[in-house]
Amino acid sequence: MAVSTLARAFALGSLVATATPVAEEPLLATCGSDEECSETSLLQTTRRVLQKEGSFAETCAGADTLSPYPYSQVTLWGTNYPGWEICGAGTMQTPINLKKPCRFGGPTVEKGPPLGANYSMALTGPTLTNNGNALDFEADWGRLTTPDGADWEAGSFHFHTPSEHTVDGKAAVAEMHIVNSPAGASLLAAHASGGEGAYSVVGILFDVGAENTCLKQAFSELTKASCTRNLTNFDLDDCFYQQLTGDYWFYSGSLTTPPCTEGVNWFVMKNRATVSKKQLKVLQSTYLNNARPVQPVNGREVGFHKVV
């Protein structure tokens, strides 16, 4: 889960457009009649406008504004980086290895209704930002109601490759985290507890398979570090309905990125989504590895919820 601090859950700061203006293309009078000249002039002018719009499709703040997490030194986060000590000293860290219910030593199984994921189409078109640590999709994605009745607001989701959680010791090709922050009374409770329970995160694992049509635009090209693109809006619930309404693992963990704050509610969906080989290649070209290794369970109760 790519959140650097509690205050930086969904905001990445103001991005400054650095797109280079497209050079003006001279109007070439390569026509005969006045009517033909007017049409040629209009076509050339239209093309210049489209070029200028395209040049500002991606706005970038510059690499010097980024502070990527050093995944090559992930085992040193808790010892060599002041302020990140809990990454090494914490006892409820994420990710973990998840076991299928039928396996020996597997999770406790409970039965009930689906997770209360009330996601939807964003009120305004989402933005995609490469924040140097993950591809972050920001928008008002709707709400999540957890089994304890608390309400949460989904402000972003992002990707890790390979997956951070493993199932029976095997990683998926990618993992998506929908980050939910407290809404209303839940927000007051989170503040009162000093940040404990400040997030609920829904994880969805990905396998290589059919092209993911909802992510087609996002994964059609590389989004450079510190750059932001506007995306066509899509319905988060409709895109991942099969996953969000299915069985899931649940446990109490932490952020998977520094400062590794604990007290995060985790819900990892059993049903997996797919991305095509081409889409996965774009994701892997963005980050060679932005996945934290699995952490000790340390006696935590990991449950499995079967939807009935």
Lowest-pLDDT range of 29-33, 67-71, 248-252: 29-33
Q: Which of 160, 136, 104 is nearest to 229 (CA)?
A: 136
- Cα 227 from chain centre: 15
pTM: 0.79
Q: Does 198 have pLDDT greater than 90?
A: no
Q: Give the pLDDT band (50/70/90) at residue 8.
A: very low
pLDDT (mean) for 132-157: 95
The dihedrals phi and psi of 87, each to the nearest 5 degrees, come to: -60, -30
- What is the overall mean pLDDT for the chain? 82
Q: Are 12 and 208 in contact (CB under 8 A)?
A: no
Q: What is the pLDDT of residue 192?
A: 45
Q: Give the pLDDT band (50/70/90) at residue 30.
A: very low
Question: What three-state secondary structure class fits 108?
Answer: strand
Q: What is the pLDDT of residue 197?
A: 56
Q: What is the pLDDT of residue 2?
A: 54
Q: Give the pLDDT band (50/70/90) at residue 174.
A: very high
pLDDT digits (tens, 9 = 90+) for 280-299: 999 999 998 999 999 999 99
Q: What is the pLDDT of residue 56?
A: 39
Q: Does 196 have pLDDT greater than 60?
A: no
Q: What is the pLDDT of residue 101?
A: 87
* pLDDT cut 90: percent of the chain above it: 68
Domains assigned to the chain: 15-56 (no CATH), 67-307 (3.10.200.10)
Q: Give the pLDDT band (50/70/90) at residue 1.
A: low
Q: Does 116 have pLDDT greater than 70?
A: yes
